[in-house]
Structure 1
Amino acid sequence: MKYLLPTLFLAIIIGCSVQKKESVPNNLDPQLENNTIRIANDSLEYEIIILEPGFNAWLVTQRPRGYYGQTYLEQRNRIFVANYNIRANNPSQYGPDLYPMQIDYEYDVDYGYEVNYLLYNYFLYFQEKYRQRLR
């Protein structure tokens, strides 16, 4: 159970981010409240939800927003998402615990800086915590 869905991470990118909101759905364990990040714009259809114990604490130790340009983040995310999805599509080789579902990240969609920043940092966190290489 070492990797019990470490990715309570649900990168459900269904559209474009603009605004950061931290919230927890009512049906979640209260202990997860400080480990939940939701980025969404309610008028659009894009959001990213990260439910990962320790991610918030780790994130504050990383380079601040604005350090990387959006183009850089998008390029890195394309590589990370492609490699992540390859592993998600091969559960017999990589196991379904670390890669439970594909990430729907379309390369031609402008998700905005905040979504790309958090997704990029989640991938860095994921690689460090679970000793994976998605490069």
Structure 2
Amino acid sequence: MKTLKQILVLFAVSVFFWACGSSPINKTPVQKEEPVVIANDSLEYEITIIDIGFNNFLNSIAKPEGFYSQQYLEARNRAWVVTWNQRARTPNQFNASIYENIIDYQPTVDYGYEVNYKLFNYFLFAQRKYKMNLGGGFRTNRIN
């Protein structure tokens, strides 16, 4: 009887290890997200955003280009850049891994629609992802 019990235990353990070893955890390859480049070649202005999820946000959640006027985007960006830069300059008060860099955005420069559109949407994305508020009365929904 003891031998039968040992065989059953050995069989159960073998089935357990076989089941654990044969079930794929994740066979789909992990795709690296491409950084989003915000650039205006004529002004030699460029921001590269490497924040996981922003590409998806820009392609599936953000309002389409043309939804907002350039003037609206510029106004939001000016306000949000001020707040962002204040936080980037005080890493002891704000998360330095979020506010890593100062954004050199001059209110008198015409960066064009595409730069303003992508920067605006990055600010929306960051507010949702990091559950922060850059101010200005613009409500954002959080990303789960």
The equivalent of 2:39 in structure 1 is 40
Unaligned 5+ segments in structure 2 are: 1-29, 136-144
**Greater CA radius of gyration, 1 or 2?**
2
Q: Which residue of structure 1 aligns with residue 97 of structure 2?
A: 97
Tell me whether 1:78 sits opposite 2:78 in the alignment. yes
Could you report, residue by residue, the CA deviation over 1:102-129 in whole angstroms, capped at 9, with x for unpaired residues? 1110110000000000000000000000
Aligned-pair distance for 1:96? 1.4
Query: Match of 1:96, SS?
Result: coil
Residue aligning to 2:126: 126
The superposition leaves residues 30-60 of structure 1 with CA deviations (integer Å, 9 ceiling, x where unpaired) of 954x331224344541122111111111112
Rounded to whole Å, the distance in 2 between the matches of 1:73 and 1:49 is: 19
**Distance in structure 2 (CA, Å) of the matches to 1:70 and 1:42:** 18
Q: What amino acid is the match of 2:55?
A: N
Return structure 1 stretches of 4+ with deviation > 4 angstroms.
none
The question of whether the paired residues in 1 share the 8 Å contact of 2:40 and 2:115 is answered with: no
Quick one: distance in 1 between partners of 2:39 and 2:107? Answer: 18
TM-score, normalization: structure 2? 0.67
**Once the 2 structures are TM-superposed, how far is the Cα of residue 63 of structure 1 from its aligned partner?**
0.8
Aligned residue pairs, count: 105
- Bigger proportion of residues as helix: 2
Q: TM-score, normalised by structure 1?
A: 0.71
The amino acid of 1:58's aligned partner reads F
Seen in structure 2, the aligned counterparts of structure 1 residues 82 and 43 have a Cα distance that, compared at 3 Å, is closer
CA RMSD of aligned residues (A): 1.7
Unaligned stretches of 5+ residues in structure 1: 1-29
